[in-house]
Structure 1
Amino acid sequence: MKNLPQKVRSKKLSSKVDLTAMVSVSFLLIIFFMVVGELAKPKIIDLSLPQKYDDEIWRDVITCGHIDPNRIVTVLLDDNNKIITYSGLFFSPIKEPTKVGYGNNGIRKILFERSNLIREYSAAMGRPKYGPIVIIKPSKKSNFKNLVDILDEMAIGKIDTYTIVNEFTPEETQLLASN
C-alpha cells in the first residue's frame, strides 16, 4: 500500500465570543438613556389657579362670610420691579396701598408682618391654622422674573394660600398708572 495522502483537517476554531465589550457598551447606553430621560422632564411649578371671577360674585362670597377679608393681602406687580400691595379688599382696605420693592426690607417684610398679624387675629378668633390669603396680580407690563420672585417670596414667607389672577379692577389699573 502506498502512502495515500492524508486528508488535511482544518483546525476547529473556538466558538466562544468574548461579550465583555458588548456588555459594557449596553450598560453605557442604558445609563445614557436614563439620564437623558430624566433631564428631558419639564421643571414646573404646581399652581392652583381659580376660575375667572366676577367682582360682584367675589363681594358676595366675602360678605356672606366664606372668606374673611382680614386675611386677604393683594400684591400688584408692574413693570420696573414695581410692587403695590394692600390688605383687605380694594373697596374697603384694611391697610392702604403701599409701593414696595423686592428683598428683605420690601415685600418680604410686609408679608411677614401681615402673616403674623393675620395668624394672631385668626388665633384670637378660634382658628389658629388660618393664615393669610395672598392674591398675586401680575400686570401685562410685568415680566416673568417678577412673578417667579414673588412666588419665591411666598415660599420664604411660608404662605400656604396664594393665587395668581390676571385681571385687574379699574381702580387697581388706575392705582398702577398713578404710581
Structure 2
Amino acid sequence: MAEIVESGGGKGKGDGKVRAKKLSTRVDMTPMVDLGFLLITFFMLATTLSKPTSMTLNVPDKQEDKKEQETEPLKASKVLTVFLGRNDDVYLLDGIAADDDKAKDQLKKVRFGSELRSEVFKAQTRVNSQFEKDEEGNLPFVVVIKPTEVSTYKNVVDILDEMAITKTKRYAMVDFLTDTEKALLGDKVTPRPEDEN
C-alpha cells in the first residue's frame, strides 16, 4: 500500500527558522503483483482451451447383402470432375468427359477457396436445374475427386472441406486417372524432379 515516509524535520542549521517537514511517498507494489498473478491464474483456469475439431464425412449406407447392386452408368453431364494438381492448383471438367473432343478447351484451372467454391455452385445449379431427383430423392449433381501424384494430403482435406461448405452430398474419390485423363492433363499432373525433394 502507499505509505508516507517522514524525513528531515527539526530546526535548520542554526539560523533559527523552523522548516516544514519534507514528506516522500512510496508506493508498495507487492499487493498489485499478487493481484496480477491471481487474475492470470483465474483466467487460465476459467477459459476453455480450443478443442480439436473433426470433419464430418459422408459415407455410403451399410449394405446388408453383399451382392453388388446394378446401377445405371453415371452421365458425364451430371458430373463435375475435380483433378488436384501441384501447388494447390485444381483442374475442373464440368459436365463433360475427358475423352470428349471439347475437353481440352473446357478444362478450367482454379484455386482453392472462393474461386473453386463458385465453380462448384455454378455446376450444382446447372445440373440440379436440368435433371430431376432420383427415386430415393437424391439430387443428381455428383462430384468426382481425383487426387494425382503431385497433389498433397492437404489438398485432399481442402477439397473435402469445400464439399462440406457447398453442401455437396454426392461425391466420390477416385485414386487413378484414365489414359485419356492423363493425356488431357499432360505435364500438369506428372511428377517433376523438384517434386521429390
TM-score normalised per structure 1: 0.58
CA distance 1:152–1:124, change in 2 (3 Å): closer
Residue number among 140, 145, 152 corresponding to 1:143 in the alignment: 152
Residue number among 155, 163, 167 corresponding to 2:172 in the alignment: 163
In the aligned structure 2, how far is the partner of 1:147 from the partner of 1:101? 13
SS in 2 for 1:80: helix
Aligned to 2:129: 120
- Cα deviation for residue 67 of structure 1 reads 2.4
Q: Which structure's residues are more often helix, by fraction? A: 1
Unaligned 5+ segments in structure 1 are: 1-38, 50-60
In the aligned structure 1, how far is the partner of 2:184 from the partner of 2:166? 26
TM-score normalised per structure 2: 0.53
**Structure having greater relative contact order (Cα 8 Å, sep ≥ 6):** 1
Where in structure 1 do 4 or more consecutive aligned residues deviate above 6 Å?
124-128
Residue number among 52, 76, 101 corresponding to 2:111 in the alignment: 101
Residue number among 71, 89, 97 corresponding to 2:97 in the alignment: 89
- Cα deviation for residue 176 of structure 1 reads 3.1
The superposition leaves residues 111-166 of structure 1 with CA deviations (integer Å, 9 ceiling, x where unpaired) of 00000011100149999842311110001211111111101111111111001111
Unaligned 5+ segments in structure 2 are: 1-50, 61-69, 189-197
Identity between Structure 1 and Structure 2 (%): 26
* Alignment: residue pair count: 126
C-alpha RMSD over aligned residues: 3.3
CA distance 1:154–1:94, change in 2 (3 Å): farther
SS in 2 for 1:176: helix
- Cα deviation for residue 92 of structure 1 reads 2.8
Larger radius of gyration: 2
SS in 1 for 2:172: strand
